[in-house]
């Protein structure tokens, strides 16, 4: 009954969600006031000594996000203990849209298009961040410190004067403001297109205005202070994408971070988000790992655990189905005949995170592949739709099954689809295939480690590693399909190379921070309670030391797990 009432009254539903966010934030927030009060004289001395250290900017911006404020306040304390002078940058409720907003929170789009987040989310975000950070005594800048009334007026005027087609193309001093605004609006809707959204144009204008203000405020801040490095979450969307663009343009070194898949682990990258950086990582970082049976077994044990997510923060199945006979009955496929797997990404996610390579979009790739297999009656195509379409942080509003149905009225009889709600184990289904086709999924890293040949059509992390068949054009992709079914799996040398990279990806690029722990929600994290100055000082946590060295000195964010 309550769900029905909430569905009929979007404002009430939003208030309930806001109350839940507040409760979770209060339960799991860092308590730096306890940290400072328990060791006041020592902390005051540390702050004084850091006043001459390297200037580090942590432009958290959306301080109400528990994940961001937890890790970035932890980094601030750790960097201060290593002699750095740390500044924060927070949005104090002036942005008309940001990445913390999404359509699940604003199901009545007209409300958000008219009012933005100021009347609800902003009232939680900035005050919460202030409460968390103020006890540390670090410098906190606000967006409004660097903006004038005229700035707001001009941003609003420009946002309302350009056409919706002009906005995505808009640049300012080579900063792709419009592109980031579009990315923010698409993320708001969890859709790869705004064309079907009744308020899509108005929401895009909001994100464009926010992108303009973020750019201007960040430019003025970076002209005022000579920062050594800016470290912040993700590196895309609004406002983080603009923060990164401005910093790089003004010669400030950028470090981005994200939660990793493994529990208590995080990925840090120099210059840009890991979505882009890992694609082009120097193979010398991992191909000469002194490989041995111990490392191989450690990797294989972890990969097996991913079938149920027992060692991960992020997983998508509660009770996965592994039995091939049961899977065959559910799908209607015949595993005794040659099968080729295809793994999708969430459409809007793929569009924002990965640049087009052989195809203009993930959907274009899927449709082209289906039509190819219409002529290949000797093969079966098994499409596994990503479970995150319905189980992800933002459920997709553009399901790929519906998009396929729109474009292809008669699905070929040799093409089978596992929908996102299915409990079929992706691992079990793909291991029964002769080869697997991917666009941007990390599953390419896992499947090659299990000996499955992979053909890459998009910007997957396994690309450029001399492990997979990497298509750079439609013609090259089709030529790879023409070679199917393959007569054999990966060679022994390629399998070892694949496992070395997988070990590097899951154990060396994912840096452990044992100072974190699971929060109220199983897929979320928080800081461990009762942290002390010795806990965060150099020499206590190898992962934290490595991260701080990377921020302060520019060294690689590669954890030497093989030495543990």
Centroid of chain to Cα 118: 25
- Residue 194's Cβ-side half-sphere holds a number of Cα atoms within 13 Å equal to 21
Helices 240-249 and 200-224, packing angle to 10 deg = 40
Alpha helix segments (H runs only) across 324-431: 324-331, 347-353, 362-374, 388-391, 400-407, 426-431
Write the CB contacts of 23 (distance below 8 Å, at least 6 apart in sequence). none
Q: ∠88-216-218 over CA atoms, to 5°?
A: 25
pLDDT at 435: 98
Do 121 and 64 form a contact (C-beta atoms < 8 A)?
yes
Determine the Cα–Cα distance for residues 344 and 441; give it in Å rounded to an integer.
Answer: 7
Determine the Cα–Cα distance for residues 471 and 357; give it in Å rounded to an integer.
Answer: 8
Do 505 and 445 form a contact (C-beta atoms < 8 A)?
yes
Determine the Cα–Cα distance for residues 443 and 427; give it in Å rounded to an integer.
Answer: 9
Report residue 267: phi and psi, to 5°: -105, 125
Report the chain's terminal Cα–Cα distance, integer Å.
Answer: 53
Write the CB contacts of 25 (distance below 8 Å, at least 6 apart in sequence). 64, 66, 124, 128
The conformation of residue 59, written as its DSSP 8-state character, comes to E
Alpha helix segments (H runs only) across 138-287: 149-161, 177-189, 200-224, 240-249, 274-277
Do 379 and 478 form a contact (C-beta atoms < 8 A)?
no
Residue ranges of the chain whose pLDDT lies below 50: 1-9, 350
Determine the Cα–Cα distance for residues 37 and 35; give it in Å rounded to an integer.
Answer: 6
pLDDT at 52: 96
Determine the Cα–Cα distance for residues 157 and 139; give it in Å rounded to an integer.
Answer: 32
| Dihedral sign of CA atoms 312, 313, 316, 321 in order | positive
Write the CB contacts of 393 (distance below 8 Å, at least 6 apart in sequence). none
Determine the Cα–Cα distance for residues 403 and 399; give it in Å rounded to an integer.
Answer: 7
Give the DSSP H/E element, type plus range, for residue 255: strand 253-259
Q: ∠124-127-128 over CA atoms, to 5°?
A: 70
pTM greater than the 0.85 cutoff? yes
Do 418 and 424 form a contact (C-beta atoms < 8 A)?
yes
Q: CA torsion, points 45, 517, 262, 316, in degrees to nearest 10?
A: -140
pLDDT digits (tens, 9 = 90+) for 61-111: 999 998 899 999 999 999 999 999 999 999 999 999 999 999 988 988 999
Do 486 and 453 form a contact (C-beta atoms < 8 A)?
yes
Write the CB contacts of 215 (distance below 8 Å, at least 6 apart in sequence). 172, 175, 177, 242, 245, 246
Determine the Cα–Cα distance for residues 506 and 84; give it in Å rounded to an integer.
Answer: 30
Q: Which two tokens stand for residue 360?
A: 């203009």
Q: Which two tokens stand for residue 330?
A: 């559910």
Return the exposure string of 325-348: e unless at least 16 CB atoms fall within 10 Å of the residue's CB, then b: eebbeebebebeebbbbbbbbbbb
Q: Which of 410, 456, 413, 460 is nearest to 437 (CA)?
A: 456
pLDDT digits (tens, 9 = 90+) for 373-413: 999 999 999 999 998 888 766 778 889 999 999 999 999 99
| Dihedral sign of CA atoms 286, 290, 293, 297 in order | negative
pLDDT at 294: 97
Determine the Cα–Cα distance for residues 467 and 455; give it in Å rounded to an integer.
Answer: 10
Domains, the chain, ranges and CATH?
19-280+511-563 (no CATH), 292-508 (3.40.50.2000)
Determine the Cα–Cα distance for residues 181 and 215; give it in Å rounded to an integer.
Answer: 11
Write the CB contacts of 150 (distance below 8 Å, at least 6 apart in sequence). none
Q: Which two tokens stand for residue 80?
A: 């201060």
The SS3 assignment for 270 reads strand
User: CA separation (Å) from 225 to 76, 137, 246?
Assistant: 17, 18, 14
């Amino acid at each position: 009954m309550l769900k029905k009432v909430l569905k009929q009254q979007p404002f009430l539903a939003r208030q309930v969600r806001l109350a839940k966010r507040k409760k979770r934030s209060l339960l799991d927030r860092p308590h730096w006031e306890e940290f400072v009060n328990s060791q006041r004289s020592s902390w005051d001395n540390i702050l004084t000594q850091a006043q001459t250290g390297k200037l580090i900017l942590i432009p958290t911006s959306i301080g109400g996000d528990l994940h961001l404020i937890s890790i970035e306040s932890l980094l601030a304390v750790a960097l201060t203990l290593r002699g750095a002078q740390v500044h924060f940058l927070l949005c104090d409720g002036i942005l008309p849209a940001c990445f913390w907003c999404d359509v699940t929170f604003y199901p009545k789009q007209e409300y958000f298009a008219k009012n933005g987040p100021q009347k609800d989310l902003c009232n939680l975000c900035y005050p919460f961040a202030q409460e968390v950070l103020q006890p540390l005594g670090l410098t906190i800048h606000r967006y409004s410190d660097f903006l004038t009334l005229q700035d707001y007026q001009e941003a609003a005027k420009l946002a309302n004067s350009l056409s919706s087609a002009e906005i995505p193309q808009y640049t300012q001093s080579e900063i792709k403001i419009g592109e980031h605004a579009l990315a923010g609006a698409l993320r708001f809707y969890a859709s790869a297109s705004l064309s079907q959204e009744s308020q899509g144009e108005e929401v895009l204008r909001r994100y464009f205005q926010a992108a303009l203000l973020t750019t201007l405020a960040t430019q003025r801040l970076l002209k005022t202070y000579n920062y050594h490095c800016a470290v912040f979450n993700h590196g895309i969307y609004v406002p983080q994408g603009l923060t990164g663009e401005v910093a790089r343009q003004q010669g400030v070194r950028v470090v981005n971070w994200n939660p990793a898949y493994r529990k208590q682990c995080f990925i840090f990258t120099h210059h840009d988000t890991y979505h882009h950086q890992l694609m082009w990582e120097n193979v010398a970082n991992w191909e000469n790992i002194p490989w041995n049976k111990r490392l191989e077994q450690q990797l294989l044990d972890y990969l097996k655990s991913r079938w149920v997510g027992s060692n991960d923060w992020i997983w998508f199945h509660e009770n996965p189905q592994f039995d091939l006979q049961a899977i065959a009955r559910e799908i209607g496929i015949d595993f005794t005949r040659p099968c080729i797997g295809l793994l999708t990404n969430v459409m809007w996610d793929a569009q924002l995170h990965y640049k087009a390579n052989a195809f203009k979009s993930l959907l274009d790739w899927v449709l082209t592949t289906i039509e190819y297999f219409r002529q290949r009656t000797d093969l079966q195509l098994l499409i596994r739709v990503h479970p995150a379409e319905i189980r992800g942080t933002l459920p997709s509003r553009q399901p790929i099954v519906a998009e396929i149905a729109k474009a292809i009225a008669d699905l070929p009889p040799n093409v089978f689809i596992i929908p996102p709600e299915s409990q079929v184990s992706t691992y079990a289904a793909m291991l029964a295939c002769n080869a697997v086709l991917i666009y941007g999924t990390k599953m390419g890293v896992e499947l090659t480690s299990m000996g499955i040949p992979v053909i890459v059509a998009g910007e997957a992390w396994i690309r450029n590693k001399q492990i997979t068949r990497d298509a750079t054009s439609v013609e090259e992709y089709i030529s790879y399909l023409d070679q199917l079914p393959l007569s054999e799996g990966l060679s022994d040398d390629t399998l070892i190379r694949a496992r070395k990279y997988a070990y590097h990806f899951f154990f060396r690029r994912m840096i452990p921070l044992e100072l974190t722990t699971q929060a109220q929600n199983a897929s979320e994290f928080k800081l461990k309670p009762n942290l002390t100055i010795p806990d965060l000082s150099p020499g206590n946590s190898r992962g934290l030391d490595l991260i701080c060295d990377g921020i302060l000195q520019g060294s690689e964010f590669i954890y030497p797990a093989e030495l543990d």
